Amino acid sequence: MLLTLVVVAAVLNGAYQMGMDEYRYSQFKDSVHSMLSLGKDTPVEELKQRMLQKAVELKLPVSEDKVTVSREGVRTMVSVSYNSEPEPFPGYKSPRNHSFTDEIAAIR
């Protein structure tokens, strides 16, 4: 009985850790998309700083050199990548690579 509880606890912990890693990635990606949508007149460097601040709020290991924001005319593009290591089981880290690109074309 005790062994069963330990196994169930370990599986639940692993699911929670992996799920939270994916949830934070999803939250960050959605926030970046919102920033692009609402920031058509915001300077690209300010957008980048806002994205990095959001990553800090979500406790994501996103470094400044892994975020690229550029603007060409009415199009704003962003590319983000980072690595995380959730711990699904005590003492075992599962390296994960996260990356995405997004693009918004403002209507003027």
Distance, CA of 39 to CA of 33 (rounded, Å):
10
Chain segment 47-105, per-residue pLDDT in tens:
999 999 999 999 999 999 999 999 998 899 999 999 999 998 888 999 999 999 999 99
Neighbours of 57 (CB within 10 A): 12
Distance, CA of 67 to CA of 19 (rounded, Å):
24
User: Considering only CA atoms, which of 24, 70, 69 is closest in space to residue 51?
Assistant: 69
pLDDT band at 108 (very low <50, low <70, confident <90, very high): low
Provide the whole-model pTM.
0.89
User: Considering only CA atoms, which of 51, 44, 52 is closest in space to residue 70?
Assistant: 44
